[in-house]
Amino acid sequence: MPLRAIAGAGLRLIMVGGKGGVGKTTCASAIALGLAEAGRRVLLVSSDPAPSLSDIYECDIGGAETRILPDLPLWGLEISSDLVLAKWKERFGREIHAVISSFADVDYDFVDYVGTAPGIEEEYMLYFIRELTKDGKYDVVVWDTAPAGHTLRLLRLPRLFLSHLEGATKFYMNMYSMVERVKDTVRLQSSKKTLLQVIASWRELSEGIIGFIGEQTTTRYVLVTIPEALGVRLTERVMAELAGNGIEVGDLIINHIVKEADCEFHRTRQKMQQRYVRSLEETYAGINIAKLYLSPYEIKGVERIREIAKALFA
């Protein structure tokens, strides 16, 4: 079955995942183009550290939202670590400084130090993507994610962040009752909120992100794989891990399938692939599966991407 559900539903975010090299960027680009051609305003975002949207669309995209094609409502954005950290600082810098300087004498550079903590970048990436879906500029955001392991870690983070904050709240409260015997009355310098209100707002944010990523009416996860042993094994792992994080895979794309085998090499390859395609179809009978044939051409430029889009949405 092609990806009809994606075209029809009121989705705001489509996450495209899978292991490196299986065709995530190709499929995300094609999905974005297909949706833009159907009249939706689409932002195609890549968070892969190796930027690739510029290559496939043969234009300069980079760290600012850039219109990809003049006659289609399609924009692109390549998110780098630097961009994410700069945005994170914009959003949290003042609050973090206010919270910490309410009990310790630190200058603003301390915020940079907090920003290097493990997990901050991934945590904020999700927030940033959610903001992009919320501000009304786009009907739908198509997210070409970083390779699977990285993305899974990213999806686990809001939960970790949440439990960390709960511990931190108690810690700060104890500190306050010991030192000043006040709890929620101290207003932070440079912020109208109290310490606990700021911490509570961070918690709300994490909960909001968890809810948003797991909400199937607005967020859909498309997993790309290839019909080989490694692809099948990784699909199992990713499916299980996603399910453990409250995320159901909406569509599975099996890419690189040999369509016509007219020589010994391709016959052998096709036979090998058929076994894995069957196995995937049996294991994931409840999930929509789309098949994508291996093209003899390099997928670059709008015309080639359009062919992939046609195959995916046909």
Ligand X SMILES: Nc1ncnc2c1ncn2[C@@H]1O[C@H](COP(=O)(O)OP(=O)(O)O)[C@@H](O)[C@H]1O
C-alpha atoms less than 13 angstroms from C-alpha of 310 in its C-beta half-sphere: 6
Q: Contact with ligand X (CB under 6 A): which of 86, 294, 307, 310?
A: 294
If binding is defined by CB under 5 A, does position 52 make contact with Mg ion?
Answer: yes
The nearer residue to Mg ion, 75 or 202, going by C-beta atoms, is 75
Tell me the H-state helices in the chain: 4-8, 24-37, 53-57, 81-101, 110-115, 120-134, 148-179, 195-214, 229-244, 264-283, 302-313
- Taking CB under 6 A as the rule, which mask of x and - marks residues 22-61 in contact with ligand X? xxxxx-------------------------x---------
Under the binding rule (CB under 5 A), the answer on residue 151 touching Mg ion is no
- Site size for ligand X (CB under 6 A): 16
* CB nearer to Mg ion: pick between 48 and 122: 48
Stretch 248-287: interaction string toward ligand X, x if CB under 6 A: -------xx-------------------------------
For residues 237-276, which are near Mg ion according to CB under 5 A?
none
Regarding 289 and contact with ligand X (CB under 6 A), the answer is no
For ligand X, the binding residue among 1, 5, 21, 67 (CB under 6 A) is 21
235 forms part of the interface with ligand X (CB under 6 A): no
Q: Is 145 in the site for Mg ion (CB under 5 A)?
A: no
How would you list the strands of the sheet with 42-46, edge to edge?
66-67, 74-78, 42-46, 140-144, 13-17, 219-225, 249-257, 288-293
Angle subtended at Cα 144 by Cα 84 and Cα 206, rounded to the nearest 5 degrees: 50
Q: Per CB under 6 A, does 299 bind ligand X? A: yes
DSSP letters, 39-56, are T--EEEEE--SS--HHHH
Asked if 25 is part of the footprint of Mg ion (rule: CB under 5 A), the reply reads yes
160, two tokens = 């970790």
> Of the candidates 131, 126, 128, 115, which has an alpha carbon nearest to the alpha carbon of residue 151?
126
Max Cα distance, the chain (Å): 82
Interface ranges with Mg ion (CB under 5 A)? 24-25, 48, 52
